[in-house]
Amino acid sequence: MQEVILEDLGSVDYQVAWDYQTVIHQNIKECKISAIRAKQPYLAEHRLLLCEHNPVYTLGKSAKIEHLLASQAELEKNGVQSFKINRGGDITYHGPGQLTAYPIFDLDFFFHDVHKYVRLLEEIVIRVLARYNLLGKRLEGFTGVWIEDENGQRKLCAIGVHLSRWVTMHGLALNVNTDLKYFNNIIPCGIKEVGKTVSSISNELKVPVDMNELKEIFAEEFKNAFQIAYKKKELT
């Protein structure tokens, strides 16, 4: 069973979290390469980072700039940042009330299947939503987790990952108590289809959600899905 360091960064600027991810990601890769060259045993120090970001739009490798509907001046006026980053996918929003999870894992110790990895992240969110009596589901052709009923299809979780030498970074963003007005300034994940919108757990339940409780539930379901043990667990 693989051991994982679980770390809660709390509320943090996107750049700070991205830089921190990058350092951990690079360290794991360097240790791995050194061990292979020296023909020595190697144990990866897998890590799971949880956080909430200050308002920011991130544009993945396949993002189209026209999917950002606000000008740079408007973003600055409203205190919203934007970054072009190296994960897959289009444009999305991160902000307060949203749980962002960054697994930095060496998949050499799990499986060599990116599709399986993304599906497993979706499964974790589906299990978390079930704990709140919400039926999360996948939609064919769309990455992430959705709610679907007579009122349409609403995306609650976006997923975008990056892998190098089978070491992962970036991850998922689950709307919990998120202020959904920020999604009005983008075409979320490039999805333009009529009837597909964005929602949050609190919006679906019509009550605020305790973020600390949700983090505990998420950490538990993540552990069960990946069949890991937490070497160190720090939740704020």
| pLDDT, tens digit, 9 for 90 and up, residues 29-64 | 999 999 889 888 888 899 999 999 999 998 887 777
Is residue 226 helix, strand or coil? helix
For residues 127 and 225, is the Cβ–Cβ distance under 8 A?
A: yes
CATH number of the domain bearing residue 130: 3.30.930.10
Count Cα atoms within 13 angstroms, Cβ side, for 90.
15
Q: Is the pLDDT of residue 109 over 60?
A: yes
Q: Is the pLDDT of residue 207 over 90?
A: yes
Q: Is the pLDDT of residue 205 over 80?
A: yes
Which amino acid belongs to residue 101? A
Count Cα atoms within 13 angstroms, Cβ side, for 131.
16
State the pLDDT at residue 233: 65
Q: Binning pLDDT at 50, 70 and 90, where does residue 191 land? A: low
Radius of gyration of the chain (CA): 18
Q: Binning pLDDT at 50, 70 and 90, where does residue 22 land? A: very high
Q: Is the pLDDT of residue 234 over 70?
A: no
Average pLDDT taken over every residue of the chain: 91
For residues 104 and 26, is the Cβ–Cβ distance under 8 A?
A: no
Q: Binning pLDDT at 50, 70 and 90, where does residue 189 land? A: low
* 179 compared with 188, residue with greater pLDDT: 179
Count Cα atoms within 13 angstroms, Cβ side, for 69.
13
Residues annotated as catalytic (active site), given as ranges: 189
| Domain range for 172 | 2-234
State the pLDDT at residue 79: 84
User: Closest Cα to residue 29, out of 107, 93, 96?
Assistant: 107
Q: pLDDT per residue over 130-183, tens digit each? A: 999 999 999 988 899 999 998 889 999 999 999 999 999 999 999 999 999 988
Q: What are phi and psi of 164, to 5 degrees?
A: -140, 125
How far is 227 from 219, CA to CA, in rounded Å? 12
How far is 28 from 50, CA to CA, in rounded Å? 19
Q: How many domains does the chain have?
A: 1
Tell me the two tokens of residue 196: 């597909």
